[in-house]
Structure 1
Amino acid sequence: MASSVSNRKPVIGLTTYLEQAQSGVWDVQAAFLPKVYFNAVNKAGGIAVLLPPQAIDAESAETILDGLDGLIICGGKDVDPARYGQDPHPLTDEPRPDRDALEDALLTAAINRELPFLGICRGAQMLNVIRGGDLIQHLPDVVGDDRYQKGQGNFSHIPVKVEEDSLLAEILNNDAPVGAMYHHQAIGEVGEGLSVVATTKDGVIEALQLDDVPFGLAVQWHPEQTPEDIGLFEGLVDAAKEYAHHHPRNTQRSSS
């Protein structure tokens, strides 16, 4: 029984956008996620399940996680500055309170049960905020230009220094990544229990590690944009397989 559990593909939940979208004759609000995210999960050996923004409470978050072996908090609009006690910068996005609430609940529950998780861009910022940290709302105010977000969907490729002996260094085999960057915000004061495990030469924080769980990582760059190097997704999928082995899902459900 144990081997059948450990050999099955782990199920990875990915949070999504809720935006106005057009398809054919329809122009409606819709939940969506760029294909590159779930392609990377599939290529790494996982099964991707998309999680739309929706009203949620702590019990509902636990129910969602009962069906998952891992979680990815994906990129997207800026986190509401009210969550970290600041007024919005003129260039901060209009808040998405439904998505903020969903990701807060899912991340909090995942941390409590030590479910493996990966934050990407906005996901790193959300992790920092729920741990009591804050954000730099407009990075050009600090670094002097828009090198981290050129706009028009054009990613900047910027070298990142990874801390030795970190989980991130282990996953990347101590290679120094060149991150695909598209963020006009950044980590400010670091939240409780988080370690900075990657930075740029400007001193911009590019990765955080939650120290008291087996696998809790968040990066500010977009690893899904470099499909030839899916090490972070493979790391998450491997951790999710281990989690699934020790938390077989059939023990979490009652018989009908």
Structure 2
Amino acid sequence: PPARARDAWELALIDAALAAGIPLLGICRGMQLLNVALGGTLVQHIDGHAEVVGVFGSHTVKPVPGSLYAGVVPEEASVPTYHHQAVERLGEGLVASAYAGDGTVEAVELPSGGWVLGVQWHPEMGEDLRVMRGLVRAAGG
């Protein structure tokens, strides 16, 4: 069932971060909520992005050249993932900055908003920490 209280709290955090212009990284559900906060929609269920129910898998994502994400991870990379929802229509101002091989949007960013990045996977779960380091650099000024 929907987690309405959690949604309200996390949407308020997203709005506050965007209003304050502080660096923002949305991870998995956080990317989805960033998209929804800006008026986008979600595909409610996709196949092929969770190899085994309840277990993280991996797949590759390809960055869009010239994007914020490509500035952090310039080449195709394998990412730790477990999700069944994805971006359908991008929210206002968001652009896709990485895709899965099947065309699923895997990263989004807000070019007019400073350092705002959403990734569909869990960068904190893998060995490649470049996304996390990018956030730390942005937050450090």
TM band (smaller chain): over 0.9
Map 1:10-25 to 2 at 5 A.
none
Q: For 1:153 and 1:185, locate their aligned partners in 2 and report how far apart those are by CA, in whole Å.
A: 14
Letter in 2 for 1:105: A
Aligned match for 1:150, one of 51, 54, 73: 51
- Structure-2 residue corresponding to 1:99: 6
Q: Deviations over 1:84-142 (max 9, x none)?
A: xxxxxxxxxx11111101111110111111110101110110000010010000113xx
**Higher RCO (C-alpha 8 Å, min separation 6):** 2
Count of residue pairs brought into register by the alignment: 141
Letter in 2 for 1:238: R
Letter in 1 for 2:139: A
**Under a length normalisation based on structure 1, what TM-score does the superposition of the two structures give?**
0.54
Q: Shift of the alpha carbon at 1:200?
A: 1.1
Map 1:79-228 to 2 at 5 A.
94-140=1-47, 147-172=48-73, 174-226=74-126, 228=127
Over the aligned positions, Cα root-mean-square deviation in angstroms equals 1.1
- The structure that has the greater radius of gyration is 1
Letter in 1 for 2:113: V
Letter in 2 for 1:170: G
Secondary structure, aligned partner of 2:132: helix
- Structure-2 residue corresponding to 1:232: 131
**Under a length normalisation based on structure 2, what TM-score does the superposition of the two structures give?**
0.95
Identify unmatched segments of 5+ residues in structure 1.
Answer: 1-93, 141-146, 243-256
Runs of 4+ with deviation above 4 angstroms: none
Q: For 1:131 and 1:161, locate their aligned partners in 2 and report how far apart those are by CA, in whole Å.
A: 24
Identify unmatched segments of 5+ residues in structure 2.
Answer: none
Secondary structure, aligned partner of 2:114: coil
